[in-house]
Amino acid sequence: MIVYMRWFILISLLINSFSIWSQEEQIEVSFAFANALASNGNHHAATKHYLKAFYLDRSNEHPQTAYKVSQGFEKLGDLPNTLKYLDAYLKYEQLNEEQRISGSYKKVRLLLSHKMYEEAQVEMYQISALPGQLDTDRYYFYQSIIAIYLSNYKNFVEAIHGLSYFEELYHPELSDIVNDFQKNINTNHQKSRFLSAILPGLGQSLNNDLKDGVNSLVINLGTLIIFINTAQTLGFRDAVLSVGPWFGRYYLGGTKNAIKASKINQQKNKDKLIKRFAELCQNAQHK
């Protein structure tokens, strides 16, 4: 009986080792085929084969499969799955410090590119807790960008003080960016509404939406002329009842559009500030 048990255990081990070997072989074949498809631009089919390799990896020894799946979904424009498999990649114990940090920064870039600023900030907090986080310039640069997007003046100032290439030299351009950022945060959207209430279209025009500003002015003036003509021919009451609602609609709509134009302009100014800041950082690094 003992002999049979020994043979049974031995055969079981052989079958199991063959299964593992076969699994490894399938992972390599699927991965290589997916690479070939991806190099030919067939990202949809490539992602399917990367997924096959990922799910065949039951022993969790191939972190590159999860990374490639994430890349495939990124090419396909599928953000939720891109982040899902990037998170799966970051959970692999085999990753070294640099791989884990680089993967985390990639997630931050993805979140920023899709305007998920709060989520990017959370990811930055997690990066700060990682061992080996020695590249302080990269860390504070991303913190600066996120602070601009989130309109957080305090965090922005703290972050730029952490950048090594701004420690010793005075940068007038940086001071200008800081001042412009503070002005942008303090943008009063109600001012645009007030200006459009005084002169329809003025609020939009001052916020670089000249087309909507002129359109609002013309429509309101036209409606006002119709109102006056109706009042003169049919009486004030008929003018109020027939033309008044239309005039009120266009007048109030113009003031709402002024606020909208102010917010859009504020966001555009943020994008310009980020571009200026990134260029300044790049130039400062090369000095």
pLDDT digit of tens for each residue in the chain (287 aa)? 554 455 445 455 444 544 444 677 777 878 887 888 888 889 999 899 888 888 888 788 889 999 999 999 999 999 999 999 999 999 998 898 888 889 999 999 999 999 999 999 999 988 887 766 567 888 999 999 999 999 999 999 999 888 887 765 557 888 899 999 999 999 999 999 898 888 888 888 888 888 988 888 888 888 888 888 888 888 888 778 888 888 788 888 888 999 999 999 999 999 999 999 989 888 877 66
Asked if residue 38 lies in contact with residue 46, where contact means CB atoms within 8 angstroms, the answer is yes
Residue 254 to residue 273: CA distance in whole angstroms:
28
Residue 63 to residue 61: CA distance in whole angstroms:
6
Instruction: Quick: pLDDT tens for 64-108.
Output: 999 999 999 999 999 999 999 999 999 998 898 888 889 999 999
- Two tokens at 268? 């555009």
Neighbours of 127 (CB within 10 A): 19
This prediction has a pTM of: 0.76
By CB atoms closer than 10 A (0-12, 13-18, 19+), residue 53 is: buried
Q: Cα separations (Å) of 27 from 20, 85, 149?
A: 11, 17, 42
Closest alpha carbon to 113 in 160, 138, 79: 79
Question: Helices marked H in the chain — which ranges?
Answer: 2-39, 43-56, 63-75, 79-90, 97-113, 117-128, 136-149, 153-161, 172-185, 189-198, 202-206, 210-234, 236-242, 244-285
The predicted structure's pLDDT at residue 123: 92
Residue 141 to residue 131: CA distance in whole angstroms:
19
Instruction: State the greatest distance between any 2 C-alpha atoms of the chain, in Å, as a whole number.
Output: 116
Residue 68 to residue 47: CA distance in whole angstroms:
8
Residue 46 to residue 32: CA distance in whole angstroms:
10
State whether residue 135 is helix, strand or coil: coil
Q: Identify residue 246 by its one-letter amino acid code.
A: W
